[in-house]
Amino acid sequence: MERRSRAILQRADDGGAWLMVKLDHMPNLDHIETVAGSKEQFYVDWELADTRRVRKKQRRLFFALLNDIVDHFVVPQDFLKDMFYLQYQYYTGKEISLADHTRSSVTDANVLIELVVDFMFEWHVPFAKGYELLPKEEQYFIYQCCRHRVCLVCGLPADIHHVDTVGMGSDRNKVDHTQHRVLPLCRTHHQNYHQLGPERFAELYHVPVNGIKLDEETLKKINVRGNYES
């Protein structure tokens, strides 16, 4: 952030690419030599800067979620805002603000919102106002719903629907989930899913048609065994 530079890409002969970074000043060559052993060639760690400023939609979602927490715990909104800003700072080492002329980016705001969503799942705060604003297409949110067994569509207690079909007669508890895509759905929405079919269901509720793919280790961690298909 403090050392943001403009860069351009150029194809390299070996199929890779050159990343050319324009610096405002000549860097300290002695320092480079000390650190890298050479002034001509050295290594840099780079990170793509997100130049998109916080979106209105993100601000709305953040405050809608805060209000859900306000209603649940009866605490002032300002207190919560400061708490999450601080938590963000602790977590990333950067400051954040969603105020009108903020320098924070879309990525920054997403990290902040993830912290709030985490908090709400952890403390069983019902998603009321914020629920319909939540980006249900987002992997992170679906993952949290799976972990906490909450319906992706409505927030009620859910089972895990396995998108991939499993061969008839196989031992369901011994199914290898490595390749499996799952969707956390409550009883009603699970029935809906099977009545409407995946495509119409996904379109109606704005959820990804294929759910999310979780690796074996994650599935174990969140305690998904076998196939609950009915």
Beta bridge partners of 181: 213
Cβ proximity to Zn ion, 154 vs 196, nearer residue: 154
CB of 218 to Zn ion, least distance (A): 20
Task: Answer yes or no: are the C-beta atoms of 157 and 151 closer than 8 Å.
Answer: yes
CA distance 177 to 215: 7
CB of 220 to Zn ion, least distance (A): 21
Cβ proximity to Zn ion, 96 vs 150, nearer residue: 150
CB of 140 to Zn ion, least distance (A): 19
Give the burial class of 128: count Cβ atoms within 10 A of its Cβ; 0-12 exposed, 13-18 middle, 19 or more buried: middle
Cβ proximity to Zn ion, 64 vs 162, nearer residue: 162
CA-wise closest residue to 143 among 171, 117, 178: 117
Based on C-alpha coordinates, what's the Rg of the chain? 23
First to last CA, the chain: 51
CA distance 106 to 114: 12
CB of 191 to Zn ion, least distance (A): 9
CB of 192 to Zn ion, least distance (A): 8
CA distance 60 to 62: 6
Give the footprint of Zn ion on this chain (CB under 5 A): 151, 153-154, 156, 161, 186, 189, 229
Task: Answer yes or no: are the C-beta atoms of 98 and 58 closer than 8 Å.
Answer: yes
Cβ proximity to Zn ion, 161 vs 177, nearer residue: 161
Cβ proximity to Zn ion, 153 vs 212, nearer residue: 153
